[in-house]
Structure 1
Amino acid sequence: MSKKDKKTAKKKDSQLVLRLDKSERDAFVELCKELDTSAAREIRGFIRKFMDDHAAQAGE
């Protein structure tokens, strides 16, 4: 599978809107830049880990 095919296969098709303090958002985005990552990538990672961590509980 080529890079283009992999990118197309993982296309995002939904959004989650959050409301938070501007200062918190700005500090988070700045920290992500310093760590050479993106805010969106980190939030997606958090969601995936949260879901994995709680998957067993959801089945109860």
Structure 2
Amino acid sequence: MGKKDGKNASRKDAQLVLRLDKNERDAFVEKCKALDTSAAREIRRFIREFMKAHPDD
């Protein structure tokens, strides 16, 4: 099972490391906070939408 409380059935077990400008990263994180979301959530959402828009042929 995932976490002890069982809330995360689809366990995330991979990481994507990227480098970007600190000011850009900080602005992104602050914008996410202002919109009551997280940077990780928005990046995951982008990846899912990107993959849906560009399916394998």
Task: Report what 1:46 is aligned to.
Answer: 46
Counting aligned pairs with the same residue, the percent is 70
Deviation of 1:49 after TM superposition, in Å, equals: 0.1
Indicate the structure with greater helix content: 1
SS in structure 2 at match of 1:8: coil
CA RMSD between the two structures: 1.1
Q: CA deviation at 1:8?
A: 2.9
Residue 10 of structure 1 and its aligned partner are, at CA, apart by 1.6
Give the match's secondary structure for 1:13. coil
TM-score, normalising length: structure 2: 0.86
Q: 1:11 offset after TM fit, Å?
A: 1.2
Deviation at 1:29, TM superposition (A): 0.0
TM-score, length-scaled by structure 1: 0.82
Is there any run of 5+ residues in structure 2 with no aligned partner, and where? none
Aligned: 1:11 with 2:46: no
Q: How many pairs align?
A: 53
